[in-house]
Every structure is written in C-alpha cells, then in structure tokens.
Structure 1
Amino acid sequence: MFRYNVRGENIEVTPAIREYAEKKVGKLERYFTDVPDATAHVNLKVYSEKTAKVEVTIPLPYIVLRAEETSPDLYASIDLVVDKLERQIRKFKTKINRKSREGADIPVPTTEVEEEVNELDVVRTKRLSLKPMDSEEAVLQMNMLGHSFFIFEDSETNGTSIVYRRKDGKYGLIETN
C-alpha cells in the first residue's frame, strides 16, 4: 500500500486536490502483486504563467518510478503524469518478462535522495546503491528516470560503469578500471 507525501509550491493542497492525486497515483498499485510499503512523493507546483507542474517519485525496491508533466490544468497534469508512469511500469514489466524467459536475474538499484545546500553550492546529493546489471538494463533505468546518464555496477566486469545519451541520440558506455 502506498503512503502519500503530497506537497504544494505556490498552491494550497486542498483535501479535494490531495484526494484526486492519491486516487490517481493509487491506481498504479494494481501493477504490483506484492505492493511494498512505499511512499509516493507528489509535488504540485503552480507558476505565474498559470501552468501547473506535477512531479511524482515512487522509490520501490527494484525500480524508482519518476515522471513529471506540465499543463495549464493541475488535474490534467496529474492525469498525464500517471499515464506516463503506467507506460514506464508496462515497459519495465515487459523487459522483466523477456529477461526471465531468457533466465536472467534483473537487479535494479534504489536511490536515496537528500536535498541540502552548503557552501560549495551542491544543492542535491544522491546516494546510490549500485547493484549488478548489464548495460542494456542500465539504459532502460536511465530512460525510465528521464536522465541523460546512469551509473551502475557492470555484472560482467564487477566494475562501476556509466551509460549516457549522446547528442546523436545513441548511447555511450564508460567503463572504469
């Protein structure tokens, strides 16, 4: 069962908004047979140009679901972000099913995020638990998170590696010694 952390920036989170967000994000639970105790972090932002941005992050044991959407309507943004998360889950489950038919185990890292400000202007720190995976799985994780690079432990070399999206749209791999 998901727990919810619904926050608003430049908007008061009314009971109606909270209920709508929890109801929509809660529909994602049906994709998991054993839903762990996870917290769905929902950030609602309203900008001066009258647009609403919704960010949802759900850290699960084997995947971090994250999506964001911006539109003129807050409720539409919530709907769009849930649709995007559903596509991510379906894509991930398809990948798992394909890999399981091939006999491969798919470990996926979890991410802990700490936000802090210090004298070096580091505004965000991420601590990663690197788990072994191949470069194909790392590219999948990178795309699901919407990032341009992803750090992982290479299951073949046991070394730390990085996949990244190149300007030409293809992917690169950096292997460490």
Structure 2
Amino acid sequence: MNISISGHHVSVTEAMDSAVREKLAKIERHFDQIQSIQVILSLDNSGANKSHKAEAIMRVSGQEMFVQALDDDMYKAINEMGEKLERQVRKYKTKQERKKIQGAGRDARYDDLDLDDEVDEAI
C-alpha cells in the first residue's frame, strides 16, 4: 500500500504523520486490497476561527473513496477522517461479499427440483 501524506498551509510533523499512519493501519487490517492512499492535511485561516481539515483519497481496484473531516484540532480531524474511511471500507467490503454470495446463489433455486425423477418418468 502506497501512503502519501502532504500538508497545505501547514507543515506535517512527525506526530501528525504517525497519527495518520496509525489510523490507516487499522483500515488496512479490515481490507488488504488497498492500492494507494493520499492524505492532505490543511489549515483554513478564513474566518474568525481556524479550521483544520484532513482529507483522504483511497484507491482500491475499480473505485476511489474520498473522505473529509473538519475540526478545531488537527488530531481530532485525523481521527474523524480515519473513522469515516473505515466506515466506507466496511461498507465496500460488505457489498463485495454480498455480490459473491448472490452470484453463487443464483443456481440454488434449482436445488428443490428433482430432475432425475422427471427424466426417469419421461423414459
């Protein structure tokens, strides 16, 4: 998994970097088919209060997932971003598992039919 962490109007400290990587490690435990994750940490100075923003773009085979979290504290924004991304990964994984089950279950409707008896009666 390729992880890219960058800052916009804020320098990324080692503590921020480790907090982001810790959150992403939890996500990787749920789903190991992640190709890359790009994280952008930014500071918005417009307005009276400073708003910290953490964004992540995660690429898996055939799809991109985007999450964004805003908070007064950068670490709270990072935690919220991680939680949102984890929810999206679990939802995506559940959909993939349901597709596998439905694909295999299509022929199950014929299990109730006893075709051998019908063939014997026809002969």
Confirm or deny a common fold (TM above 0.5). yes
Deviation at residue 65 of structure 1 after TM alignment:
2.2
Q: 5 Å matches for 1:89-128?
A: 89-103=89-103
Q: Give 3-state SS (helix, strand or coil) of 1:102's partner.
A: helix
Deviation at 1:21, TM superposition (A): 0.9
Q: % of aligned pairs identical?
A: 32
What are structure 2's unaligned runs of at least 5 residues? 105-123
**Misfit runs of 4+, over 6 Å:** none
Kindly tell me: are residues 99 and 39 of structure 1, through their superposed partners in 2, closer, same or farther at Cα, counting changes over 3 Å?
closer
Q: 1:47 pairs with 27, 44, 49, which one?
A: 44
* CA-to-aligned-CA distance 1:50-108 (integer Å, 9 cap, x gap): 1101000111213322211101111111111111111111111222222211107xxxx
Name the TM-score, length of structure 1 as normaliser. Answer: 0.53
Match in the other structure for 2:12: 13
Count of aligned pairs between the two proteins: 101
- 2-structure distance, mates of 1:35, 1:98: 17
Match of 1:103, SS state, is helix
| The structure with more radius of gyration | 2
More displaced stretch, 95-104 vs 68-77: 95-104
Letter in 1 for 2:39: V
Indicate the structure with greater helix content.
2
Distance 1:97 1:5 in 2: 29
TM-score (norm 2): 0.74
